[in-house]
Structure 1
């Protein structure tokens, strides 16, 4: 893999590292998502930089964080576009590798009028990012306040990142998406923030009420994370830290596209938690970020800036 491009990692801001996927999203807009066996006509198709890792990196940067991306792109036509997009957001790409003779990650995102979406991900170069790559890049974690990880890179790679961050005394936030069976070691994090379907995929059961959310948060906490935050869309976020359980409300918006709402939430939590030390305050602020993202079209284009989130809170 070739050496990446670097930018200055700002020291005066909360320092956030993001280990995760970097994709090009092919966004298809239609009136209604097709059912199995059904063909529907699309209104439009566009190329938008994405990937849960890159989305969360951009979200954190726009929220005021000094962000370092750890990931892998291919040496195809999309790879340099994806790198340039991150650099344009002032994200440090010194730990982004380029895999030779490999395509970049790709996601096919179908969005219907209600804002609901269905996504198929082709991992591409993201699957090439190995635990050994993370071990070689361990210095990338040393000066950070928070590491954010997701599940669009191989689980051994994610685990290597969590362990490196722990050795450096860095807080770790796990967004367990896409939903998957997790090894026990992956729960050794400071915060896990699934949505409803991801939470039930991990511990089972149904999540139909606020009481269900509280019970599932407790069951998730028993697996090992220091705190659990289950995002419940317009209802807010259920937070449990082992002592206190609380539903932290959000604001109501007209949903246009929920693709990056969870990524906006995660990026905002990381930055505000690093800045204030208060997880509850961070989640209050992040709920606003997620709601604002859901009210706009696109993934990265929908991610709000710090000033917009502050305005929504006033």
Structure 2
């Protein structure tokens, strides 16, 4: 069965500056090279989903500019339904500047632009599309009130909702009540719960805190260590596949998109879907760029026979 995935999220043109090491405060350094590519958490997750076989649609917004056309073309080129991407003239298309060092670590500065100008009414305009989905994903690079409205619509129609709270910020009232699964990384989880993530006990404590906050289903990604999961029925840890990282930019987004392509609506196969997602992200980190680095299901199958 093919999952039908809808992503509500951000569309950013990424400019990556390749550097030897991260600059210190006040330091001026030279970039070794510069690359431009399509990105944004929403776009990355949608491409990861469609490349792993999901029937994928996108809800988002771009500026009435050249970058906006570039982003829509990039999604269309991957076979993603872009009919619900709107265009505005008041804001420019979202963009990001990424500093990427030789160890494969990055720092990212984001201009929200049109992404941040989305209104909750857009969710209502997309009700038929949301209702037709198996999975609806959103992040925090678009306004939370839009996600809240979209998730409310999703729950009305029995659609499973996945929230990626990145970048981490205080969650608005009501959002967790309509979220089926929350997927932060360890830093984001600690920001939201106030509990540092460093071992299994602390992950269990984070899960307990999230339960207090109103959500029982949790995945915490912990980089090259793997991913912790906790549901109403089970919990555990899936180790990452050991590879040499070149660029970690889209690793987390690849993980979520690939996961959404495999997970069942009732989350009954979380561990199996996690293993697949780890395989996908392990390939992503070995390549440069955001969208260009995301593997297809055939590439994942070939790498992990």
Fold shared by both chains (TM-score > 0.5): yes
Residue in structure 1 matched with residue 245 of structure 2 by the alignment: 255
Equivalent residues in 2 for 1:109-124, closer than 5 Å: 109-124=98-113
1:260/1:300 contact within 8 Å kept: yes
Q: Does residue 205 in structure 1 map to residue 195 in structure 2?
A: yes
Q: Kindly state the Cα deviation for residue 277 of structure 1 after the two structures are TM-superposed.
A: 5.1
Distance 2:268 2:82 in 1: 26
What SS does the corresponding residue of 1:60 show, helix, strand or coil?
helix
Q: Which moved more, 1:147-156 or 1:177-186?
A: 177-186
1:69/1:91 contact within 8 Å kept: yes
Residue in structure 2 matched with residue 108 of structure 1 by the alignment: 97
Distance 1:310 1:239 in 2: 23
Distance 1:83 1:283 in 2: 29
What SS does the corresponding residue of 2:219 show, helix, strand or coil?
strand
Give unmatched runs, 5+ long, in structure 1: 1-11
TM-score, normalised to structure 2's length? 0.95
Residue in structure 2 matched with residue 142 of structure 1 by the alignment: 131
Distance 2:87 2:210 in 1: 36
| 4+ runs deviating over 4 angstroms | none
2:63/2:87 contact within 8 Å kept: yes
What SS does the corresponding residue of 1:222 show, helix, strand or coil?
helix
Distance 1:289 1:308 in 2: 9
What SS does the corresponding residue of 1:173 show, helix, strand or coil?
strand
Give unmatched runs, 5+ long, in structure 2: none
- For these two proteins, the number of residue pairs brought into alignment is 303
What SS does the corresponding residue of 1:94 show, helix, strand or coil?
strand
Residue in structure 2 matched with residue 235 of structure 1 by the alignment: 225
Match of 1:55 among 3, 24, 44: 44
Q: CA RMSD in A?
A: 1.5
Match of 1:169 among 158, 179, 199: 158
Distance 2:195 2:264 in 1: 33
Q: Kindly state the Cα deviation for residue 167 of structure 1 after the two structures are TM-superposed.
A: 1.1
Distance 1:101 1:154 in 2: 17
Deviations, residues 237-280 of structure 1 (Å, cap 9, x unaligned): 11101332201112111111111000000001111014895122
